[in-house]
Amino acid sequence: MEHINKVSSKELIRIMENDNKPVVIDVRESEEVANGVIEGAKHIPLQSIPDVIEELDKSKHYVLVCRSGARSMKAASFLDEHGYKVSNLAGGMLEWEGEVIA
């Protein structure tokens, strides 16, 4: 897991402002996401990642997000093992400095 790229909140905000936006995947549970999510994030609960992996595009960059960064690191590692380009939001939503939408 040490080789998974970690991005800070500030880095992700900067990356999201570029033309080549990553796909943000929020792996938290539905009740957590109901309290707010990063705008444009796709909600896929952690346990559902294996079920939808075939629907993801290997040419895209995915940034995984959860509450603190632990669950999203598991998801990032799983996707990395299957050949996807991934990063993990360091500190998760607890460290997120950008806007949150309900």
CA distances from 64 to 18, 54, 85 (A): 18, 17, 11
Domains of the chain by range and CATH?
5-101 (3.40.250.10)
User: For residue range 14-70, what is the model confidence (pLDDT) as tens digits?
Assistant: 988 886 788 999 999 999 999 999 999 999 999 999 999 999 999 999 999 999 999
Active-site residue flag, 97: no
Could you tell me where the DSSP H helices lie in 5-99? Answer: 9-17, 30-33, 49-52, 70-81, 92-95
Q: Would you say 13 and 96 are in contact if contact means Cβ atoms under 8 Å apart?
A: no
pTM score > 0.85 for this model?
yes
The single residue of 63, 66, 73, 76 carrying the catalytic annotation is 66
Whole-angstrom Cα Rg for the chain: 12
